[in-house]
Amino acid sequence: MNPKMNYVIDYKGQPADKTRTGGWLTAALILVLEACERFTTMGIASNMVTYVVGTLHLPSATAANIVSNFGGAGFLLCLLGGFVADSFLGRYWTIIISSLIISIGSALLSISCAIPGLRPPPCNVNSSTCVEANGFQVGVLVAALYVIALGQGGLKANVSGFGTDQFDENDKKEKSKMDYFFSRFYFVISLGSLLSVTVAIYVQDNVSRSWGYGLCCFAFFLGTLVYMSRTRRYRYKKCVGSPIVQFLNVLVAALRKRKLKCPSNVDALYDDSTHTTPIIRHTDQLRWLDKAAIIDENDYGTNGSVIRNRWKLCTITKVEEVKMMVRLMPIWASTIYFWCIHSQVLTFSIEQASTLERSIGNFLIPAGSFNIFYIAGILIGSAFYDRVIIPLMKRWKGKHGFTNLQRIAIGIVFSILAMTVASIVETRRLAVVRVVGGKVTTLPMQFYILIPQFFLVGLAESFTYSGQLDFFITRSPKGMKSMSTGLFLSTVGLGFFVSTFLVSIVNQVTGTQVGTGWLTSNINYGKLYYFYALLAVLSFINLIFYLLCAIWYVRTMKNTSQIENIITNSEEEERHAMQMAGTLTVAEKDCE
């Protein structure tokens, strides 16, 4: 009889047969949608600022905020996508619905670019006057972007997880295939990103925006059909509830019993009688959360047994798991700003590129395609770390590379260097502007001067991203890893919104008038170098803040003696965290 697996089911709801379900081919078809997601969202984000400024005639700061908000929304909505899949729909249906939502959003975006009434008239060449897009025209564009972001959140939250569901981690042969899946996942993300900044952007700039975004819609529709073709072969896991609910359970129960006094004997706190020993030892930090595990008279039934109401009483193990998540919050808060730097290569840096000489022979490099240098920084940085740094540190110090907290710090240092270089490059670009005049469409300045800032941001991301993902996966309870990964991704989304906030503040303080404003409608008349310098200074301050948080965390873990209790099989978990970091390094990350 074919071996069965009790922990997963097939499409009929029966225990899955390993010989007929799952496997590499099934997981490979799931990757098709990940390639489509990269192709669509990266292609839109990398080139949207040129459309908003060049066609809708909106100020550069407004264009930057539209792109930043779009990027931020997609990552923050991963939390919603993960919650819906864990609690209601499951990963399979959440992925299908999310894919269709992205298709609808791409179609709406294509329509907004095709209908003349949804964009302002071209600029008057004689008078050099441009009419800005009205509220309705901008509203249609923004609505399409947020529809795509909604689908993106649901898709990114579940693709990698559903892919790993197709393998049995307890089977050595399938375990090796899952490792192969992770490496192929990385290849698919890279391929999708490279196609987006080359093929997709080329079609947008040289054929039409409408055809470019329509191509994304068609790709997703076709990808969804390919994904659904394997429905009978997938392995499914039942919805077990979201760890976010457990987090809220403990907080609500602790607040309800906030007036009670914690017992001096921790053995008096409630725990599941089915476990002979707690999974995680009790710690003295955050004792107010222990109140969620206090048993009072209201927790007993008429027969004297404890009535388990998770909104009133939680096990001490659940409380300790929440404590572990709370201890991650300082690192979470201190890494948000880093992703504000990433936002710049999708906005102002693209505007800079649009003003330079970008020709290679008869071929004109699209401004949005400059993100290929950013992707190159990620790939080269990751390869250098894996192939050079890790072997050297193993040989000299017997360590498997830098710790996750050290990698995050290295990435932040590179981000400071990236914005410093960007500020210097902008001063040189504006020096040319003063010579030839700001109205010149293409400056007599070669494009390669911008390569260092794109490359350095990618290099910074290769360290910080892998370090963050490794940290949040290995330092969280085993049952809450999807939540911790979503928590990490929320730093990416919030970083985009921090960029929007900074742009708005700078505009209010400096204005947008030529000669005074840092971020004017035409960057040739602004002082963008001041903005980049500000980002570098703030990044340095953030580095100090991060180092303080990291020192606090290390000392806390030593004091609580929980390092060995963070997860079971920590070396194995860390290895998989590093694999996940490799698969998701191309900045457009995935929820577990």
Domain shared by 369 and 225, yes or no? no
What are residue 225's DSSP bridge partners?
A: none
Domain shared by 195 and 210, yes or no? yes
Domain shared by 156 and 228, yes or no? yes
Give the C-alpha separation, 592 to 589, whole Å. 10
Domain shared by 265 and 176, yes or no? no
In what helix (H) or strand (E) does residue 364 lie, and over which residues does it extend? strand 363-364
Domain shared by 224 and 300, yes or no? no
Domain shared by 343 and 393, yes or no? yes
Give the residue with greater pLDDT, 161 vs 68: 68
DSSP tally for the chain: helices H, then strands E: 20, 4
Q: Which has the closest alpha carbon to 113: 39, 41, 54?
A: 54
Q: What is the pLDDT of residue 193?
A: 85
* Domain C-terminal end among 225, 241, 257: 241
List Cβ<8 Å contacts ≥24 apart for 213-217: 213/44, 213/106, 213/107, 213/109, 213/110, 213/113, 214/106, 214/107, 214/110, 216/36, 216/39, 216/40, 216/43, 216/44, 216/106, 216/110, 217/103, 217/106, 217/107, 217/110
Q: What would the mean pLDDT of 51-79 be, rounded to a whole number? A: 91
* Domain C-terminal end among 326, 353, 371: 326
Start-to-end C-alpha separation, the chain: 33
Q: What is the pLDDT of residue 506?
A: 93
- Per the CB < 8 A criterion, the answer to whether 41 and 152 are in contact is yes
* Domain C-terminal end among 294, 326, 358: 326
What are residue 306's DSSP bridge partners?
A: 300
Q: What is the pLDDT of residue 320?
A: 87
Q: What would the mean pLDDT of 155-162 be, rounded to a whole number? A: 85
Q: How confident is the model at residue 127 (pLDDT cuts 50, 70, 90)?
A: low
Could you identify the residue written with the tokens 């800005």?
A: 132
Q: Could you report the per-residue pLDDT of 466-497, keeping only the tens digit for each?
A: 888 888 877 877 767 677 778 888 999 999 99
Query: Count of domains in the chain?
Result: 3
Q: How confident is the model at residue 590 (pLDDT cuts 50, 70, 90)?
A: very low
Q: Could you report the per-residue pLDDT of 94-108, keeping only the tens digit for each?
A: 999 999 999 999 999
Q: What is the pLDDT of residue 104?
A: 94
pLDDT over 70 percentage in the chain? 89
By residue range, what is the domain housing residue 135? Answer: 1-241
Q: How confident is the model at residue 577 (pLDDT cuts 50, 70, 90)?
A: very low
Domain shared by 405 and 496, yes or no? yes
Domain shared by 300 and 181, yes or no? no
Structure tokens at 296: 């009072």
Give the residue with greater pLDDT, 191 vs 81: 81
Q: How confident is the model at residue 591 (pLDDT cuts 50, 70, 90)?
A: very low
Give the C-alpha separation, 514 to 525, whole Å. 6
Name the least confident of 118-132, 203-217, 323-337, 532-546. 118-132
- Confidence check: pLDDT of 425 > 90: yes
Q: What is the pLDDT of residue 430?
A: 93
Q: What is the pLDDT of residue 334?
A: 95
Structure tokens at 455: 């490359």
Q: Which of 170-179, 305-314, 364-373 has the highest mean pLDDT?
A: 364-373
Domain shared by 179 and 309, yes or no? no
- List the CATH number of the domain containing 224: 1.20.1250.20
Q: What is the pLDDT of residue 362?
A: 84
Domain shared by 93 and 165, yes or no? yes
Domain shared by 199 and 209, yes or no? yes
Domain shared by 312 and 376, yes or no? no
Q: How confident is the model at residue 126 (pLDDT cuts 50, 70, 90)?
A: low
Give the C-alpha separation, 34 to 27, whole Å. 11
- Per the CB < 8 A criterion, the answer to whether 234 and 11 are in contact is yes
Q: What would the mean pLDDT of 124-135 be, rounded to a whole number? A: 78
Name the least confident of 65-69, 298-302, 522-526. 298-302
Q: What is the pLDDT of residue 279?
A: 59
